[in-house]
Amino acid sequence: MGKHETITFSNSDRSLVYRWLASFFTSEVKIETLESYSSSEGKALLDVFALAPELSSFTNQLSQMAQLPKEDYQTQVLDLATAYSRLFLGAGGSHSAPPYESAYYNEKGTLFQKPTADMNKLLQELGISIESSLKEPADHLGVQLNVLAEYIDREALAEANGDQSSAQSLHQNQIWFLTNHLLNWVPSFCEGCKRFDPSGFYEELAAALNTWLSMDLARLNEAGTTT
């Protein structure tokens, strides 16, 4: 079996994975979230994601949570809300894992640094804006994952239209973005989740994300050498 021969996700699947992962960083897990994954459609979606070894451990954890008795959902959701606030909203103070590229840009760890300005410029160039419900700077992890999904969607559209030049350019955009706006800081972010997550849920999520990013970059590079 080849180094990356597990399952080949289509661009539509890859985009869905990125938007799905982003959703856990942009909002807290709600009771409705668990209910959705206890449905037949939700279970089927998790089964698809679990085909990717990088995501299987997290999807299994989420599946187990969704299978808890409904009366236990409230306690589970409250525990996750506490962890979310501690890690991502600053409630943990120095024991947090800020989901912003700027926080890892230099030793100061302050927000609204060059990565924020770079992301604002990129969003403008792409002609997309941050959802009004997400009151976060442009270098928030959820925003960046959705930007990558946007590149993937645009590559798929270019391919469907037979525009191979644009498709190849968008393919390279994904490699650049992964290298310069995600994998340059997400590993450090994951370490913070590993150290400070009281629930274990976000530690598992961050680990899955980090592995997925690395493997996706490898697959993109491999695909680029064969085109």
Distance CA 65, CA 56 (A): 14
Which class does domain 11-226 fall in?
Answer: mainly alpha
Please provide the average confidence, as pLDDT, over all residues in the chain: 92
Mean pLDDT throughout 100-113? 92
The set of residues, in sequence order, having a beta carbon less than 8 Å from that of 74 and lying 6+ positions away, is 31
User: Can you give the pLDDT at residue 108?
Assistant: 83
Query: Hey, is 197 helix, strand or coil?
Result: coil
pLDDT tens per residue across span 175-203: 999 999 999 999 999 999 999 998 999 99
pLDDT in the model for residue 155? 96
Span of 2-16, 172-186, 201-215 with lowest mean pLDDT: 2-16
- Rounded (10°) CA dihedral 194, 197, 200, 201: -110
| Poorest-pLDDT segment among 125-134, 163-172, 205-214 | 125-134
Measure the CA–CA gap between 216 and 41, rounded to whole angstroms.
25
Question: Which pLDDT belongs to residue 224?
Answer: 67
Whether residue 4 is predicted with pLDDT greater than 80 in this model: the reply is no
Does 145 score more than 50 pLDDT?
A: yes
In this predicted model, what pLDDT tens digit does every residue of 21-79 receive, in sequence order? 999 999 999 999 999 999 999 999 999 999 999 999 999 999 999 999 999 999 999 99
Query: What phi, psi does 140 have (nearest 5°)?
Result: -70, 145
224/67: higher pLDDT? 67
pLDDT in tens, 12-23: 899 999 999 999
Q: What is the pLDDT of residue 5?
A: 44
- Return the axis-axis angle of helices 53-66 and 201-226, rounded to nearest 10°: 150
